[in-house]
Structure 1
Amino acid sequence: MNSNIRKVETALYLLPVTLGDTPLENVLPAYNKEIICGIKHFIVEDLRSARRFLKKVDSTIDIDSLTFYPLNKHTSPEDIAGYLKPLINGASMGVISEAGCPAVADPGADVVAIAQREKLKVVPLVGPSSIILSVMASGFNGQSFAFHGYLPIEAGERIKKLKTLEQRAYSEDQTQLFIETPYRNHKMLEDILLNCRPQTRLCIAANITCEGEYIQTRTVKAWKGNIPELAKIPCIFLLYK
């Protein structure tokens, strides 16, 4: 481990992760490495991906000397509350999502809420957010937008939700964002093209910041017959009038 690592200010650091197999220097400031190398306690969404990320940040990091606290949909509120004891006792902690920015469409928000309630210092670090990057590149309204996560799996409910979001894009002048499990991307796109208005604009943003990045905006009518290959690719869909 580098002996020149400076002591970081005691805080809960929100540590962005690459969105795929992207070189760190392309998307993360060098300052992030300095912070990460000064932390011994990490609250993580996925242990294996967090370990891989930390080794990618600095191959000399002694993973076995670190303490990891799992934070996912199965973690109890009682466990989450106890995770912040090191921070309360004066040790900095880091929150690591499986990809992108922690606490944004991510269970990390639960532990951040507790830290704020306890008046503990929270520091978000700079890094890639697929939500923000896709809005930037879409050409849609960046003043007002809403991210809805996953839409319903059941076909009837999903179509109903799509039509509601499309209506909001028109009535509220608001960009609507949502995602799908990669293997169901084509089914989602099929539902959009069958049920949304021909003039409604759809942006498909896939593999953001990664090799093969694909971000295109067209009308629903123009997308028909020009569907890209989206199977197994992380993707965000954006609707706008």
Structure 2
Amino acid sequence: MPGILYLVPNTLGPAETADSNVLASILPTEVQMLAARLEYFIAENAKTTRAFLKLVNVRHPLAKPLQEIRIAELNVNTEAAALPALLAPLLAGQDAGLISEAGVPAVADPGANLVRLAHQHGIQVRPLVGPSSLLLAVMSSGLNGQSFAFNGYLPTDAAQRTKRIRQLEERSRQERQTQLLIETPYRNGAMLEALASACNGSTLISVATDLTLATEAIRTQTAAKWKSELGAGKTPDFHKKPTVFLLLAD
């Protein structure tokens, strides 16, 4: 009988301390205990996963010493032909944890392809409760939580990016739908400037940074207000910090 593929949520950023309560407000105890008993992980980043397991181990001893736990990497560079080998231990009966570098796996994450293949092989997939930056951003933005869409990264070319923003704004206006996007953290400033410049002045733009972390910051205001602040040199403290951008057109 195949093992179970557990979708294990990770923290949304590095913990500032390693005390016994560091995961208490982020992951349910049951999720931590389950992660502690797994001996095989498929991870977007092995180093990040080891750091996560060290935190889990503070209160819930791992089934094996960390150096003996197998961690196979699955990231954007992993070829599709390599996926079956990652599932081989599960088909042999071993449980495994699929874990992202941050947040929940298989959402804006290469793990989705492995989950699809697991279903094709009749492997049971179990998602576990944990933080999703996208849902937390929607919750805290004040924008439409009844209808929203995640659009990932926008083009890096300025002209193409502006064109895409205007397409998303029009879609938002027509469908009353909140549009979510992300950017490589060191380009957050350029993304906010592009949104403020390309959008209608009354369009609402929300910026959610470092969600669940001590440096968390969430602001929602009109594109006109953002443009005015940026013009005055008032830029959010979000350089190189994971940020979710949201917009809702009137």
Q: Which residue of 2 aligns with 1:6?
A: none
Q: Which residue of 2 aligns with 1:215?
A: 218
* Letter of the 1:13 counterpart: Y
Q: Distance in 1 between matches of 2:33 and 2:27?
A: 11
Deviation at 1:212, TM superposition (A): 1.6
Alignment pair present for 1:231 and 2:239 = yes
Contact 2:3 2:91 in 1 (8 A): no
Q: Distance in 2 between matches of 1:63 and 1:128?
A: 24
Deviation at 1:55, TM superposition (A): 1.0
- Once the two structures are superposed, residues 96-141 of structure 1 have per-residue CA deviations (whole angstroms, 9 ceiling, x without a partner) of 1000000000011111011111111000000000000000111111
Deviation at 1:172, TM superposition (A): 1.2
Contact 2:6 2:125 in 1 (8 A): yes
Q: Distance in 1 between matches of 2:206 and 2:147?
A: 16
* Letter of the 2:7 counterpart: L
Q: Of residues 148, 152, 158 in structure 2, which corresponds to 1:149?
A: 152
Q: Of residues 161, 164, 172 in structure 1, which corresponds to 2:167?
A: 164
Q: Which residue of 1 aligns with 2:127?
A: 124
Q: Counterparts in 2 of 1:39-118, with a 5 A limit?
A: 39-59=38-58, 60-61=61-62, 62-118=65-121
Aligned Cα RMSD in Å?
Answer: 1.3
Contact 2:3 2:92 in 1 (8 A): no
| SS of residue paired to 1:48 | helix
Q: Distance in 1 between matches of 2:196 and 2:108?
A: 26
* Letter of the 1:185 counterpart: N
Q: Distance in 1 between matches of 2:23 and 2:3?
A: 24
Q: Distance in 2 between matches of 1:15 and 1:191?
A: 35
Q: Distance in 2 between matches of 1:36 and 1:190?
A: 41
Gap runs ≥5 in structure 1: 1-8
Q: Distance in 2 between matches of 1:87 and 1:211?
A: 37
Contact 2:211 2:217 in 1 (8 A): yes
- The count of residues paired between Structure 1 and Structure 2 equals 233
Deviation at 1:183, TM superposition (A): 1.0
Deviation at 1:160, TM superposition (A): 0.5
Would the alpha carbon gap of residues 81 and 10 (structure 1) be closer, same or farther in structure 2, given more than 3 Å must change?
closer
The sequence identity of aligned pairs, in percent, is 43
Deviation at 1:159, TM superposition (A): 0.5
Gap runs ≥5 in structure 2: 16-21
Deviation at 1:184, TM superposition (A): 0.8
TM-score, normalised to structure 1's length?
A: 0.93
